[in-house]
Structure 1
């Protein structure tokens, strides 16, 4: 007979929910264990335990990553902080070529947080985890006094396995390689900015938050020697490409006209004098692919739901080591530096 779980009856989070007693146990068993609900988590041990042989059967390298999420507002068109926490960590694993398997979930809750809001966020996390094929197997909860946080902060740590023969690295870029993105850039940053209500724009802007591991695996089937790849979250595509150029000591030239940007996002950028290439994304990757395989990879990406608007946007070139250049629509070139400062705070 299965053990009867505790029920959380409170409508808001109190300091008692982080104190280690009955109130905290009610919160954990009802909201977290009751929603995530898997064999490893349900044991309520201080750690999750895995069969190493099952992981080794998938590949010889373990991928391990962690990220924290402090987005404002915590709910926005197309997702919420829970969706971000799952997909963001899944994607950090995916762009190494790893198959994501397990996640942890650390919650920092502010006293006074509505339990109904917390339940919605946790349900979003379960839904995103199911879609990505990962399990949330361990976690932690802390509560801070009212005014010492902002509703909810989440940390997720992920474990995945990299199949044999995959060696993706920012230091692998070579002259002649092509740069590919898997769709419209800047959607997430624009959606969060609009959700804050400061612009009062009458346009529908939704986050692009989505898991990318299946897209990446499809790319690797046709191009196992894919050179470099990262998800373009904070700092956007511009920052990722500058990191590639520096790590590989090469230059990168982009074709501005080839970069997919929604008209609505262009409009936001024009109003604020910003550049979509620096906007955050939560479902976009930047891949550096051997030039002679770029078209093959692109066709695979275009046939996948997460890459329907993929495009080749530039190439790796010799000279100007560490520089990223953008060929403008007027025929000239400009230097695209790494983001300096914080263009949009608390974006993910």
Structure 2
């Protein structure tokens, strides 16, 4: 298999039919496009998610907290508690562990999350650190949403833009090459995209207006996120290429390394399915909070999944792997 997410057909064949006992309190369990579980606690629902950080080294603690918090927030829940497993290579010194924990501590405080446990070890065979996070949050039962609840005709809204996380990772990991080509100011701007990868605020603002589904596109970028949402909702989609917001730094980096920004890891963006009559209110509410938002298309009852470019409708393939792996 290629680096990155295991293909959906392999998840169905190998993973989703090996899930232990059934539990009636599990309201939402594992499925393609669903990034967190929901467990019934009476009037409230516990949301739980788990994600590793494997494609970055610099800022890995910050990524771990925020990527996991995003998955909780897209279920309509406020992230509250974080557990973290830190696997260090044998070459690591105390300074690396201290740096990772400092990042985790600051990031958790920024979004009001308590770090409640985990595990730390030096692991044989690793070339660089890996951080695996588990985030817990809670939401009132009537406010629970998930990526599989998009409806035919719903507007597809995208916040911030394409490949935010990918831009930050590549700027940090290929820093010297990019400085030589585009200068110090360009690289510093691109690296600062790290501070944009949280979608907790995006999700909370959208929830206040009222939406049907949310999903944060990570590996495989916005293209993969669209497919995951459509798969989870048993729908198709039509999106419009000229409507996708993309930062100049992202465009330049993708052109430099010959990458497709639609398929580059995109934590920091939020995909939202909103009833068409409510879409403008959602976009206006997000913009009022300083969050870029655009209606990029619509979900379809027909199962086709297409992008319109220069007036021509063409299939939008689901990425087999993330563009990031070409350069890091």
TM-score range, shorter chain: 0.7 to 0.9
CA–CA separation in structure 1 for the residues paired with 2:321 and 2:207: 35
SS of the aligned residue for 1:165 comes to helix
- Does residue 214 (structure 1) correspond to residue 201 (structure 2)? The answer is yes
CA–CA separation in structure 1 for the residues paired with 2:327 and 2:146: 26
Larger radius of gyration: 1
- Does residue 343 (structure 1) correspond to residue 323 (structure 2)? The answer is yes
CA–CA separation in structure 2 for the residues paired with 1:297 and 1:347: 36
- Does residue 60 (structure 1) correspond to residue 44 (structure 2)? The answer is yes
Tell me if structure 1 keeps the 8 A contact 2:164–2:197: no
Tell me if structure 2 keeps the 8 A contact 1:71–1:347: no
Tell me if structure 1 keeps the 8 A contact 2:50–2:68: yes
SS of the aligned residue for 1:85 comes to helix
- Does residue 324 (structure 1) correspond to residue 308 (structure 2)? The answer is no
SS of the aligned residue for 2:142 comes to coil
Q: CA deviation at 1:326?
A: 1.0
- Does residue 168 (structure 1) correspond to residue 145 (structure 2)? The answer is yes
For residues 2-151 of structure 1, the aligned pairs below 5 Å read: 59-72=43-56, 74-75=57-58, 80-145=59-124, 148-151=125-128
Q: CA deviation at 1:164?
A: 2.8
Output the aligned Cα RMSD: 2.3
Tell me if structure 1 keeps the 8 A contact 2:159–2:202: no
CA–CA separation in structure 2 for the residues paired with 1:341 and 1:215: 26
Q: Structure 1 residues 211, 264: CA separation in 2 closer, same or farther (over 3 Å shift)? A: closer
How many residues end up aligned between the 2 structures?
Answer: 279
Query: Partner of 1:254 in structure 2?
Result: 239
Instruction: Note the alpha carbon deviations across 1:205-225, whole angstroms, 9 max, x for none.
Output: 1234443223322221221xx
TM-score (ref. length: structure 2): 0.78
Q: CA deviation at 1:178?
A: 0.5
CA–CA separation in structure 2 for the residues paired with 1:318 and 1:144: 48
Q: Structure 1 residues 279, 173: CA separation in 2 closer, same or farther (over 3 Å shift)? A: same
CA–CA separation in structure 1 for the residues paired with 2:230 and 2:267: 22
SS of the aligned residue for 2:153 comes to coil
Instruction: Note the alpha carbon deviations across 1:26-71, whole angstroms, 9 max, x for none.
Output: xxxxxxxxxxxxxxxxxxxxxxxxxxxxx969x5211111111123
Tell me if structure 2 keeps the 8 A contact 1:177–1:315: yes
CA–CA separation in structure 2 for the residues paired with 1:111 and 1:346: 26
Higher alpha-carbon deviation: 331-340 or 192-201: 192-201
TM-score (ref. length: structure 1): 0.74
Query: Partner of 2:274 in structure 1?
Result: 289
